Amino acid sequence: MKSSQKISLVLIGLMITTYLIYAGIYIKNTSFVASGERYFVLFDDAMISMRYAKNFAHGFGLVWNPGEAPVEGYTNPLWVIFMAGFHLLPLAASKISLAVQISGAIFLAINLYFVFQIAQKLAQNLVIAALAAILTAFYMPLNTWSLQGMEVSLLVLMLSISVWLVLNNLERDRFSVWPYLILGIGTLVRIDMAVPYLVVLGFLVIFDPKNRKQNLIWGLGLLAVFIGGQTIFRLWYYGEPLPNTYYLKMTGFPLITRLKRGGYVLFKLMEQMNWVLFLLPFAALLFRRDRLILFLFTILGGQVAYSVYVGGDAWEHVGGANRYIALAAPIFFILFVYTVQQIITAIATKIRPQILPNHWVVNLTLIALVLASMVNFNLLSNQKSLRRWILTRPPDFIEANIEYVEIANRLKEITTPEARIAVVTAGAIPYFSERPAIDLLGKNDPFIARQPNHLPSGIGDIRPGHMKWDYDYAIGELKPDVVVQIWGDIETAKKYLSEYYVSAEYDGMVFSLLKDSPEILWEKVTIQP
């Protein structure tokens, strides 16, 4: 084994070990004690997937509420099946999320190996490869989405593996079906992995003329198999060609408004990351324009364009890359470090022509600038984000998770198992309360998902997936036993709450309870005047 290969393995091993320690502390910081028990809870959207996974593992099918008509309120079928496997283990409900979080850390750790290899292939420089992997390892948004249970951890790994394989193929001028297989399976994890799939296919058809026919046949053929197969399953099982979340987020959301909102959140990301740092990687095209670097820019551009097209995500207010752009964050960091090194080298050779790209002065300057930039990349919405990044403050969303678990535990104490609860946050509360639920925002309700959007006046106030509700239907018609939360048009909800419900307190929490409901343990609650 060459000395450079040994050094590479040592560097990768050190980075992965360091990252796993960091991830372990991060995961511990997401836990909390409620009702005398330590809980590990995922990001609330991930807990919606966990509810489907739990029901599937227990033999109820891929449903949100056992016994009701199936609704595809998730967009990550293979991840739900993956989660279901953990529900077959002898673990308490409070600890199953921990297993999912550990798996996310493992996926991200493996991803660092491929990020290192991609950067090494692009630059033939161990320092660049190591710094790109370090930026990836400690980018807070990527850790937030991955270590709090979203499928991002697996998807970013699948994308990195596919990029690495394509770069190998381009370098050796050969064809391989593996990138299409991996990205095709990725569409089963989340259907919008069809975006990088199509980007890879389009790029190879244009820039790999020798293998154009094979790319077209295999690329289009496998895409038809993966997308067609899951579409057939949806039609058979759910009676719809697309997930319910598609109708919720995309219908009634005009294209121009979507693009404006997508552009707005992209602008805010650029501003938060610092305009110079965000745009710096594009200077790489001044130094190099071969197929390898153009391919990386194409992958990055595809994810950014997709984020703009769908109007962004619902949680950009916490700062950093959303779930769509985060998948390409490793590619961005590779291009960033490579460009910084090229600029430093160009400046250094102007001063001293004998300086080489791997000169110690170039490397030390590169390390200093990249590490300083890493702090800026993780300075998200406010100064608290840096404390979250260095693990001296609980991560984003944990305060809400504590509240949701406390609510769920109180609901179990004051209701029967048949009590229907109406919620806005449809993940942790239904999961831990084990009560049939009504999703007021429609992610798990096809009727609400097809209602008009309640679009706010300001582009910055739009939150995709959180703009549809119908209280005439959800409260006035369905009449849940407990209304736990309200969102948006409070006045319409209040009309039904005042007529059909009473306000009751239990252990410091106030709920709206359906009058005379047999599913409420009335002796435990205190009716408020």
pTM of structure: 0.95
Query: DSSP string covering 370-417, please?
Result: HHHHHHHHT--SSTHHHHHHTTSSPPTTHHHHHHHHHHHHHHHHHB-T
Instruction: Name residue, tokens 């697309």.
Output: 242
3-state helix, strand, coil in the chain (%, to 5): 65, 5, 30
User: What three-state secondary structure class fits 35?
Assistant: coil
Which tokens sit at 451?
Answer: 């209602």
The series of mean pLDDT values per 10 residues for the chain, 529 residues long, is 77 95 98 95 97 97 95 96 97 97 98 97 93 97 97 98 97 95 98 97 96 97 97 96 94 94 95 93 91 96 97 92 96 97 88 71 90 92 85 94 97 97 97 97 95 90 93 96 92 93 95 96 93
How would you classify the pairing of strands 37-39 and 32-34? antiparallel
At residue 525, φ and ψ (nearest 5 deg) are -110, 160
pLDDT, residue 488, reads: 85
| Helix pair angle (152-172, 291-309), 10° resolution | 150
Which tokens sit at 47?
Answer: 């807990």
pLDDT, residue 43, reads: 96
User: What three-state secondary structure class fits 337?
Assistant: helix
Measured distance CA(111)–CA(105) in Å, rounded = 10
For residue 191, CA distances in Å to 184, 187, 196, 230, 306 come to 9, 4, 11, 9, 13
pLDDT, residue 261, reads: 97
Residues present in the chain in total: 529
| Helix pair angle (329-351, 93-123), 10° resolution | 30
Measured distance CA(417)–CA(436) in Å, rounded = 8
pLDDT, residue 356, reads: 62
Q: How many CB atoms lie within 10 A of CB 191?
A: 21
188 contacts 158 by C-beta, under 8 angstroms? no
Query: DSSP string covering 454-484, please?
Result: ---SSGGG--TTSS---HIIIIIIT--SEE-
User: What three-state secondary structure class fits 203?
Assistant: helix
User: What three-state secondary structure class fits 174?
Assistant: coil
355 contacts 362 by C-beta, under 8 angstroms? yes
